Amino acid sequence: MGLVEWIVRLVLSPGVFAPVIFPGLLTALAVLLIVIWAERKIAARVQMRVGPLYVTRHFGGVLQMLADGTRYMFQEFIVPETADKVPYMLAPALALTLAIAPFALIPSAPGFAPVKSPYSLPALLAILASTPLSVLLMGWSSNNKFSIQGAVREAFMTLAYEVPLFLSALSMAILYGSMDLEEIVGRQFLPGALLNPVAAFTFFVAMVMSSGRLPFDIVEGEQEIVAGPYVEYTGIVFGIGMGLAYLKLYALSLLYSLLFLSGWEPLPRALYSVYPGLAGVWLFAKAFTLMLFVVFLRSVYGRYRLDQALRAGWRVYLVLAVVSILLSCLLRVVVNV
Is residue 197 involved in binding another protein (CB under 8 A)? no
3-class state of residue 227 by DSSP: coil
CB of 299 to another protein, least distance (A): 6
> Cα separation of 241 and 229, whole Å?
9
* Shortest distance (Å) from residue 258 CB to another protein: 24
Q: Which stretch binds another protein (CB under 8 A): 13-21, 97-105, 168-176, 292-300?
A: 292-300
Q: Is residue 257 a contact partner of residue 263, using CB atoms and an 8 Å limit?
A: yes
The interface with another protein within residues 45-74 (CB under 8 A) comprises 45-46, 48-50, 53
Q: Which is nearer to another protein, 300 or 326 (CB)?
A: 300
Number of residues located near another protein, criterion CB under 8 A: 13
Q: Please identify which residue in 60, 299, 332, 337 interacts with another protein, judged by CB under 8 A.
A: 299
> Binding to another protein (CB under 8 A): which residues in 313-332?
316
Considering the complex, state which of residue 237 and residue 321 has its C-beta at the smaller distance from another protein. Answer: 321
Measured in Å, how far apart are the chain's first and last C-alpha atoms? 47
Quick one: 244 or 318, whose CB is closer to another protein?
Answer: 318
Only one of the segments 43-51, 135-143, 250-258, 275-283 lies at the binding site for another protein (rule: CB under 8 A); that segment is: 43-51
Distance CA 288, CA 121 (A): 20
- Cβ contacts of residue 146 below 8 Å, gap of 6+? 225, 226, 227, 228, 231
CA angle 115, 331, 259 (to 5 degrees): 30
300 near another protein, judged by CB under 8 A: yes
Using CB under 8 A, which of the segments 97-105, 120-128, 243-251, 298-306 binds another protein?
Answer: 298-306
| Residue 311 binds another protein (CB under 8 A) | no
Please pick, from the candidates 42, 104, 185, 206, the single residue that binds another protein as defined by CB under 8 A: 42
Are 161 and 237 in contact, with CB atoms under 8 Å apart? Answer: no
Question: Among residues 6 and 293, whose Cβ is nearest to another protein?
Answer: 293
The CB-of-46 to another protein minimum distance in angstroms stands at 4
| Largest Cα span, the chain | 63
Which of residues 45 and 85 has its CB atom nearest to another protein in the complex? 45
**Residue 227 within binding range of another protein, rule CB under 8 A:** no
Q: What count of Cα atoms within 13 Å lies in the side-chain half-sphere of residue 123?
A: 15
> Which of 67-97 are b and which e, b meaning 16 or more Cβ less than 10 Å from the residue's Cβ?
ebbeebeeeeeeebeebeeeebeebbebbbe
Per DSSP, the three-state class of 218 is: coil
Q: Are 221 and 303 in contact (CB under 8 A)?
A: yes
Residue number, 273 or 307, with CB nearest to another protein: 307
The helix (run of H) or strand (run of E) holding residue 43 is helix 25-46
Residue numbers at the binding site for another protein (CB under 8 A)? 42, 45-46, 48-50, 53, 296-297, 299-301, 316
